[in-house]
Each structure stands twice: as C-alpha cells, then as structure tokens.
Amino acid sequence: MDPGPVLGICGYSGAGKTTLIEKLVRLLSGQGLAVGVVKHDAHGVTLDPAGKDTDRIFRAGADVLLDGPDQLLMRIHRRGDAPLADTLQWLAPYFDLILVEGHKTTPLEHKIWLCGAAGERPPPTAVNIRRVLKRSEDRVRIVLELLDDWLPAAWRATPLYAGILLGGRSTRMGRPKHLCRTGGATWVERAVASVRGCVRQVVLLGRGVVPARLRGLPALSDVEDATGPLRGMLAALRWAPRAAWLFVPCDAPLFTVDAAQWLLSHRLPGVWAILPRRPGAAGPEPLPAYYDFRAARFLERVRGPVELAAAPHVLQPLIPPELADAWTNVNTPAERRTFAPPMAVSRARTAPRRHRR
C-alpha cells in the first residue's frame, strides 16, 4: 500500500536538516496540513532518564503510552527488522505529508539533499535525490515551491473509488428505490453513470437485485456494526482501506457528472472529507460526498456521517445554484412526482486545482 506523500530530507550532520524541517512544519501546519516527522537517530533513542517510572516499565518489556493533557508519547520496542516502510504505513492515516529526516540510502521516492559545505555532493549511496540545496539558497522557499508542484499530484495518486449505496428496505417508497426508473434508467444505473468516468472503480454497497448490465460490478454487503448509510460506507472503507471514496446514494437520482466533477474539484491536500452545503441549508450534505481514507477512523466512531462536519480537515463548499438539485433526496412516491431529471449531462471535466500555500 502507498503510504501517501513522503519527502525525505537528507544531509550530513550539521547540514541544517532539523532547522529546515522545523520551519517547514510551522508553515505547513499553519496552512492546515497535518505533518508528521520521522527522525532517524543512529545513536539510539533516549526519552526518560534511567530509573524513571516509564523507563522502568519499558525496560521490563512493555510498550508504554504516556498520556498527557496536550500530547501523547508512545515508546515501542523494535521487534525484528521492521523497515521504515512499515512505520510509514502505520502513520499514513494520520498525516497529509510525512517528512523523513535522514535515511539517505532508504529508497523513498522523493528526497532532497542539504549541503553542509561548499562543493559538497551527495554520496553515491544516497538514492532518489530530486534536488541538491546549498546553504546559500533559500531552502524554505525552494522546498515550498517543490511541494506546490508535487504534493497535489501525490495526493491525487490515492486510488479514487465510487460507492453506490443501494439503500435499505425503502418502506416509504414502497419498493426498492434503486430500481425506480427515471428517463428510461433505474436509479442505480443513473448513479453509476454519474460517477463512472470520474473514478477508478465503482462498487455497489448493500444487497439487492440490480440490472443485468451492472452485475459485473463488485458488490459488498453492509456491515452489521453500524446503522443507516454508514453500514455501506464502512464496508467500503474496510474493503479498500487506502482508497478515497465518492459515496452516492440511489435516492439522489438527480446527481450528475457535473455535480460529481464539481465535488471532486475540491479534492486538495489537507481535505479529508468534502460535505457540501446547499444554499440556505442549516448543515452540510453527508451524501453524495467525498471521504478520504484518513476520515475512516472518524467515521468508525460516529452514529451518522453528518457528524463528521465537526471533525478536522472537513471542507464544506457551497453548492452552486445550478447544481443544487443534484443533492435532492427522494424517499416517497409523492416526492418522486415533484422532480424532473436533467435534460442532458455534461461530460466536460473540471480542471484540478493546485494546492496553494
């Protein structure tokens, strides 16, 4: 699995690695990005003076979590030859960007080298060095410009899937909503058509009879430890835990390609979920909506996806008036009689937006 955006910052001792990382973390955190740092210490890690309570417990053989009012500190025994890749996989769901100090020979995909002396060059063993920076250069500015170019593409490299929520028993509609027909197509077919050109894979979430032309799509049963749409959403997130998801319910039959592309145009570094707002609405729309894999741990502990509006890294853009009907929810025969489907669906793609500092 891809650990997400990782940038290595290498150089000999005294080259300024820690100074650069500290400045980058302050600036990037101020922009709303969650930044993690992996620091290499070849001389061994010392956290507590010998004889202190947590040190005694650690040396007795336990992993220790130190819980304070404004921070957590975890000290874990290295068991076997755990590579850096394992650490990065463990950290990936918590951060938008991980900076790795040192590890010049580790094959990270993107690394920069900081020169400590005039005329210095990286050693032959240092792999994947994308840029060499002298002391005389404005290192902070240069690295931020590199991130401006690279980070959005690295973020969008996360596989994007669409999950079509078939719905529950549809008691108010009197029949399975996903099999209702509008404009010659069932609602589940309309939902699939609205997202198929925007994502890598479409997955049906929930069980029920589907039209023959959709029977080749992957289908997941709802989980049993949740309620409402979370049953299908969590099934998807657990099935592909490193994918980003566009979730579309079948009871939003006016959702279109234009609406999907507008929603996904807000997919930027630091955005873990996109819950759009309709003009004049009191709260955001949890569906159709976008959820990055970093939002999964929040969804695992809420009663409904709308509660994610209070979580960090959640964007709530205002839906343009011409697209507002795409979020119309249709639950009863009376509601169904009050709407008309769009006459046409545009296939124009929205240009991706760049990450801006």
The type of residue at 7 is L
What is the DSSP track for 40-65?
--TT----S-TTSHHHHHHHTT--EE
The answer, yes or no, to whether residue 353 has pLDDT greater than 80, is no
Asked if 34 and 99 touch (Cβ cutoff 8 Å), the reply is no
Residue 274's pLDDT band (boundaries 50, 70, 90)? very high
- 62-94 burial code (b ≥16 CB/10 A, e <16): eebeeeeeeeeeebeeeeeeeebeebbeebbbe
Whether residue 357 is predicted with pLDDT greater than 80 in this model: the reply is no
CATH class of domain segment(s) 6-156: alpha beta
Global pTM? 0.88
Of the candidates 176, 165, 174, 257, the residue with the CA atom closest to the CA atom of residue 203: 165
Q: At 21, is the secondary structure helix, strand, or coil?
A: helix
Residue located via tokens 């990286």: 122
Write out pLDDT tens, residues 123-138: 999 989 999 999 999 9
Taking 80 as the threshold, does the pLDDT of residue 81 lie above it? Answer: no
Top-confidence residue, 283 or 344? 283
Of the chain, the percentage scoring pLDDT greater than 90 comes to 64
Residue-wise pLDDT for 32-78, tens only, equals 999 999 987 665 666 776 778 888 888 888 988 888 888 888 888 87
Q: What is d(CA 147, CA 29) in angstroms, rounded to the nearest whole number?
A: 14
Mean pLDDT of the chain: 89
Residue-level pLDDT at 76? 82
Are 176 and 170 spatial neighbours (Cβ–Cβ below 8 Å)?
Answer: yes
**pLDDT score of 202:** 98
CB 266 within 8 A of CB 246: no
> Given a cut of 80, is residue 355 above it in pLDDT?
no
Q: 135: which residues sit within 8 A by CB, 6+ positions away?
A: 16, 114, 115, 116
Q: Which of 328, 223, 316 is nearest to 277 (CA)?
A: 316
Note the pLDDT of residue 140. Answer: 97
313 in Cβ contact with 32 (< 8 Å): yes
Q: What pLDDT does 45 receive? A: 66
CA dist., res. 36 & res. 147, Å (int): 15
Q: Give the domain 160-336 fold.
A: Spore Coat Polysaccharide Biosynthesis Protein SpsA; Chain A (3.90.550)
Instruction: Compute CA distances 348 → 197, 198, 239, 252, whole Å.
Output: 11, 11, 31, 21
Q: What is the residue extent of each domain of the chain? A: 6-156, 160-336
Q: Residue 73's beta-bridge partner residues?
A: 66
Cβ atoms of 220 and 235 within 8 Å: the answer is yes
The rounded distance, in Å, linking the Cα atoms of 190 and 47 is 57
| Share of residues in the chain with pLDDT > 70 (%) | 91
Chain segment 135-193, per-residue pLDDT in tens: 999 999 999 999 999 999 988 889 999 999 998 777 788 788 999 998 889 999 999 99
Write down the pLDDT at residue 352: 41
